[in-house]
Amino acid sequence: GQNIDQPTEMTATEGAIVQINCTYQTSGFNGLFWYQQHAGEAPTFLSYNVLDGLEEKGRFSSFLSRSKGYSYLLLKELQMKDSASYLCAVSKAAGNKLTFGGGTRVLVKP
């Protein structure tokens, strides 16, 4: 089976940095995804990691350590529009179903 854990909620200040951690235990691994979901909307793709290390994409970066079953999503220079839920998901095989964590709700305050 698969078990994916992430914090339920985080609060940060506009302009600051927030790091959302995700730990996973899976019977197979083909990559880890991060999605952003604003309230009442569909999840949208943010990042994908399959090899260890850091992937940077503008203000957002994602890190993976396969040996530790650990990933984090780093949001820099927070903006009010970054207030959303951030979903960590793991794939066992290419194109296969993603198993999602419960999501981390990030609230950005002025």
What DSSP assignment string belongs to 19-48?
A: EEEEEEE-SS-SEEEEEEE-TTS--EEEEE
Could you give the string, one character per residue 52-81, with x where binding to other proteins holds by CB under 8 A and - elsewhere?
------------------------------
Q: Which is nearer to other proteins, 14 or 41 (CB)?
A: 41
Residue 48 Cβ vs other proteins, minimum distance, rounded to whole Å: 5
Could you give the CA distance from residue 20 to residue 22 in angstroms, rounded to a whole number?
Answer: 7
The smaller minimum CB distance to other proteins, of residues 2 and 108, is found at 2
101 forms part of the interface with other proteins (CB under 8 A): yes
Which amino acid type is present at position 23?
A: T
